[in-house]
Amino acid sequence: MDKFLIRGGKPLKGKVVISGAKNSALPCLAATLLTDETVTLHNVPYVKDLITQRRLLEDLDATVLTPELHTQKIKAANIEIYEAPYELVKTMRASVLALGPLLARFGQAKVSLPGGCAIGTRPIDLHLKAFERLGATVSLEAGDVVARAPKGRLIGADTFFEKVSVTGTENVMMAASLAKGKTTIHNAAREPEIEDLAELLNKMGARITGAGTTKIEIQGVEDLGAAEHTIIPDRIETGTFIVAAAITGGKLEIENCQPKHLQAVIEKLRETGVEIEERGADKIFVKCGGRGLRSKDVTTEPHPLFPTDMQAQYMALMTQAEGAATVVETIFENRFMHASELVRMGADIQISGNTAIVRGITKLMGAPILASDLRASASLVLAALAAEGETLIDRVYHIDRGYETIVKKLSAIGADIERITENLK
Ligand code: UD1
């Protein structure tokens, strides 16, 4: 398993270009299953989760033409298998995004039920309830969810999410695009990735309004067709690099980002004393204010509030801020696994239920540590960049799932980081 060796204490300086959003590219790739015509996606990040999603499409017999690394042309004309196998679903929960498109286009789909994952149980009951509202019968057979649309086509209906779900909203939006009649999604997720997917679907011929609000209306159409679309920049990667500049006392120009997609993060970081200047619609300049960082409390909430996917990175930053910060995680249980590793590096963090209290400023010292999930590993990299001495981070395959060429990007702005590849004998 690969590891990162980081020698901390160097302020990061220079320019970094943000990649396409993983969480947008995943549903957009799944959406290509809705048509037999070619869909071209640009700005697809080259990260492990996207490679897995592409493999899923290929397993279903879609043709993936990839003339360029970041452009994916997909033609799902010859689909005869309607099944996402456990082998793929267990490595990446987002494979459940195949369920909606397959069910809508072919009237049937089988997807393995995702098992428990590192950041909580993460059920898909809300996706399934919504499919049932659209007329599907859903059953559990030997660990697989099997969904069928009677007479082969879903029927538009009013659906209500008891809890805001990002991939749930996306799955239903895709399924309803080919349903007969109109679907309304109440209490829909409002993440920018939902709007991006709706934009792609509309380019393919769908009739979706209200994406980005809590009420999305979808007028079903008979079929969808070819389209070309550019994925939005990754707001979580953007936030991670802002914290990287702040935690090392550096200065960064962040390009190809969309500051409007991470206003809650930018506002919170400004409160702590990080200087963030938005330069036009797609650039950010960030530096750490001369007065040092102040602790500020944060609670994770669905968009447009502070994202759970930035909680771990924020916690790392708070170890370097004056005072005590309360960090409350409301989206996922068990999403504080980075805390014990940060403590090993010298942080003062106390956890009680879904609340962490981080007391700073603590001196972080390099140590051997273990990454437990995608965002936790980002938090550990940030802490290592600020720490004195060497940190060896094990299980970095987690970070490879969602951060494109992270070692290259960090090295280019002055970080001392190397990947150690272990060859299995
Ligand atoms: C997506 C993101 C992930 C992010 C999360 C929250 C993708 C590929 N992943 O995950 O990076 O951390 O949103 O912003 O976009 N829930 C249920 N039943 C369901 C579905 C969800 O109880 O059927 C619960 C979950 O356990 C969780 C909450 O609802 O507590 C929100 O989950 P959800 O928004 O669905 O997360 P994902 O879409 O899996």
If you average pLDDT over every residue of the chain, what do you get?
94
Among protein residues, the one with the nearest Cα to ligand 1's atom 5 is 166
Between the CA of 374 and the centroid of ligand 1 the distance, in Å, is 14
Which residues participate in catalysis according to the annotation? 117
Among protein residues, the one with the nearest Cα to ligand 1's atom 3 is 309
In this structure, are residues 371 and 394 in contact, taking their beta carbons and an 8 Å threshold?
yes
By C-alpha distance, which of 266, 311, 285, 268 is closest to 16? 285
In this structure, are residues 381 and 24 in contact, taking their beta carbons and an 8 Å threshold?
no
Q: Rounded CA gap, 381 and 385, in Å?
A: 6
Q: Rounded CA gap, 33 and 319, in Å?
A: 45
Write a three-state SS string for the chain: CCEEEEECCCCCEEEEECCECHHHHHHHHHHHHHCCCEEEEECCCCCHHHHHHHHHHHHCCCEEEEEECCEEEEECCCCCCCEECHHHHCCCHHHHHHHHHHHHHHCEEEEECCCCECCECCCCHHHHHHHHHCCCEEEEECCEEEEECHHHCCECCEEECCCCCHHHHHHHHHHHHCCECEEEEECCCCCHHHHHHHHHHHHCCCEEECECECEEEEECCCCCCCEEEECCECHHHHHHHHHHHHHCCCEEEEECCCHHHHHHHHHHHHHCCEEEEEECCCEEEEEECCCCEECCCEECCCCCCCCHHHHHHHHHHHCCEEEEEEEECCCCCCCCHHHHHHHHCCCEEEEECCEEEEEECCCCECCEEECCCHHHHHHHHHHHHHCECEEEEECCHHHHCCCCCHHHHHHHCCCEEEEECCCCC
Helix 125-133 and helix 166-177: axis angle, to 10°? 30
What's the burial of 1, exposed, middle or buried (CB within 10 Å: 0-12/13-18/19+)?
exposed
pLDDT bracket for residue 120 (50, 70, 90)? low
Among protein residues, the one with the nearest Cα to ligand 1's atom 20 is 124
Between the CA of 289 and the centroid of ligand 1 the distance, in Å, is 35
Domains detected in the chain: 3-18+233-420 (3.65.10.10), 22-230 (3.65.10.10)
| Per-residue pLDDT, 121 | 65
Mean pLDDT (whole number) for 342-365:
97
In this structure, are residues 289 and 329 in contact, taking their beta carbons and an 8 Å threshold?
no
169 lines ligand 1 (CB under 6 A): no
The predicted-structure confidence for 191-238, as pLDDT tens digits, reads as follows 999 999 999 999 999 999 999 999 999 999 999 999 999 999 999 999
Mean pLDDT (whole number) for 14-40:
98
Mean pLDDT (whole number) for 118-135:
86
Among protein residues, the one with the nearest Cα to ligand 1's atom 19 is 124
Q: Which atom of ligand 1 is nearest to the CA of 22?
A: 8
CB-based contacts of 424, cutoff 8 Å, min separation 6: none
Tokens linked to 406? 């992270």
144: β partners: 112, 141
The predicted-structure confidence for 160-197, as pLDDT tens digits, reads as follows 999 999 999 999 999 999 999 999 999 999 999 999 99
> CB atoms < 10 A from the CB of 43, how many?
20
- Report which residue type is found at 284: I
Q: Which atom of ligand 1 is nearest to the CA of 332?
A: 30
By C-alpha distance, which of 221, 281, 167 is closest to 35? 221
- Pocket residue to mutate for ligand 1, from 56, 122, 330, most atoms within 8 A of Cβ: 122
Between the CA of 124 and the centroid of ligand 1 the distance, in Å, is 9
96 lines ligand 1 (CB under 6 A): no
271 lines ligand 1 (CB under 6 A): no
| Per-residue pLDDT, 334 | 84
In this structure, are residues 244 and 250 in contact, taking their beta carbons and an 8 Å threshold?
yes
Q: Which atom of ligand 1 is nearest to the CA of 303?
A: 14
Sheet holding 182-186, edge to edge: 158-160, 182-186, 215-219, 207-209
The predicted-structure confidence for 58-98, as pLDDT tens digits, reads as follows 999 899 887 678 999 999 998 988 988 888 888 888 889 99
| Per-residue pLDDT, 137 | 97
Q: Rounded CA gap, 234 and 18, in Å?
A: 7
Among protein residues, the one with the nearest Cα to ligand 1's atom 11 is 309
Q: Rounded CA gap, 108 and 294, in Å?
A: 54
Between the CA of 232 and the centroid of ligand 1 the distance, in Å, is 20
Backbone angles phi, psi at 267, to 5 degrees: -60, -45
129 lines ligand 1 (CB under 6 A): no
| Per-residue pLDDT, 53 | 92
Tokens linked to 389? 């001495």
pLDDT over threshold 80, residue 406:
yes
165 lines ligand 1 (CB under 6 A): yes
Q: Rounded CA gap, 54 and 40, in Å?
A: 13
Q: Rounded CA gap, 342 and 315, in Å?
A: 9
By C-alpha distance, which of 5, 3, 11 is closest to 244? 11
333 lines ligand 1 (CB under 6 A): no
